Structure 1
Amino acid sequence: MMQISSDPASNKHSLLNVMHRFIAAANNMDETIMVPSLLRDMPLEEQAAGVLEANNNNNDEPPCPNKQRDMYEHYLLLKSIKNDMEWGMLKKEMSSGASFLEIAVKQEEQQQQPVTGGLSLQDNADLEHQFHYHLRGLFGVLSKLTLQADHLTNRYKREIGGGNFMR
């Protein structure tokens, strides 16, 4: 008979595991990158490949202005997301800065109608659908962020020449 572990963190497909992997990758990135300012003006490899492809296709669309322009901005974004995950919005509220998460929650609260009484069966099914939709999205985003943090760490080691040091 197959047994299911009662510890959600031991399941490699659990949300907690995906979150821990991202936080571990971001911590490793932060420990490895001793001088983050060296990342300034160092273009992201993906961005450079996208520009070359756009030029080859004779596409005159400008690059997306919301993307990070260099590895330093990407590093700061990954650190900020990790801090938001670890500390939540309370830290942002105390420092009076607004995160994307805080803005999204406030917008969602404004769009929702006041709750009246119990939820119907239809509403419960909709909540379950919304939950699974957002859970899949969260898994995807955290997996991509983990890969990006690992990539940034490895690229920093390659560029700085610290790929062979031991800690």
Structure 2
Amino acid sequence: MEEYFSAVRKMEQTVMFPSLLQGVSLGDLANTLDSSSNEKDLYESYTLLKSIKTMVEDGLVPLNQTFPVATQMKEQEIKEEEDLESLFYYHVSSLYRILTRLTRRAKAVTSKYDEIMGQMNQNEKRLSF
């Protein structure tokens, strides 16, 4: 989890102008990101990563404000409650996989932003000569 927080913090510190990420396709980073991503551009990934970080830092959603998927999963969990060790392992391993993917995405957004800024700096140097 610390690696995820570190990657998002670095992304937040690096990306000074998030609007530069608008319109930058995730397809450019296909090898870094999963192909099933629903975000249209890196700006949406940036905002998603920041909101997830905030949610994790602030704690869990109150029980009366559950997500629809969570309600469906709750029914399944009640059935599996007898095997708490397996249920715990399942959720921890799922969380680990999700955090790994989110960490890769944060690093990709940071990398692409650095690339965009490098291109802008090169263009400015050319114009000043």
| TM-score, shorter chain, exceeding 0.5 | yes
Q: What is the alpha-carbon distance in structure 1 between the residues aligned to residue 91 and residue 67 of structure 2?
A: 17
Shift of 1:76: 0.5
Unaligned runs of 5+ in 2: 120-129
Per the normalisation by structure 2, the TM-score is 0.72
Instruction: Report Cα offsets for 1:116-145 as digits up to 9, x if no partner.
Output: xxxxxx81xx11111101111111111111
Report matched runs for 1:60-71 at 5 Å: 67-71=38-42
Partner of 2:43: 72
Q: What are the within-5 Å matches in structure 2 for residues 79-94 of structure 1?
A: 79-89=50-60
> C-alpha displacement at 1:113, in angstroms?
9.2
| Higher alpha-carbon Rg | 1
2:44 maps to 1:41: no
**What does residue 126 of structure 2 align with?**
none
- Measured at CA, do residues 68 and 109 of structure 1 come closer, stay the same or move farther in structure 2, by a change above 3 Å? closer
Do the aligned partners of residues 158 and 109 (structure 1) sit closer, same or farther apart at CA in structure 2, a change above 3 Å counting?
closer
Q: Which residue of 2 aligns with 1:132?
A: 89
Superposition deviation, residue 89 in structure 1: 3.9
Compare relative contact order (CA 8 Å, sep 6+) and give the higher one, 1 or 2.
2
Write the deviation string for residues 55-77 of structure 1: whole angstroms up to 9, x where unpaired. xxxxxxxx96x700000001011
Q: What is the one-letter code of the residue matched to 1:150? A: K
CA 1:112–1:147: 2 relative to 1, 3 Å: closer
Task: Give runs of ≥4 in structure 1 deviating > 3 Å.
Answer: none
CA distance in 2 between partners of 1:127 and 1:29 (Å): 36
Q: Which residue of the other structure, out of 104, 107, 111, is the alignment partner of 1:150?
A: 107
How many residues were matched structurally?
Answer: 113
Classify 1:85/1:105 alpha carbon distance in 2 versus 1 (closer, same or farther; 3 Å): farther
Give CA deviations for 1:36-61 in whole Å, capped at 9, x if unaligned: 0111111112459xxxxxxxxxxxxx
Establish whether residue 26 from structure 1 lines up as the match of residue 37 from structure 2: no
The share of aligned pairs that are identical, in percent, is 34
> C-alpha separation between the residues in 2 aligned to 1:155 and 1:113?
40
Check conservation: 2:29, 2:108, Cα contact below 8 A.
Answer: no
2:75 maps to what in 1?
111
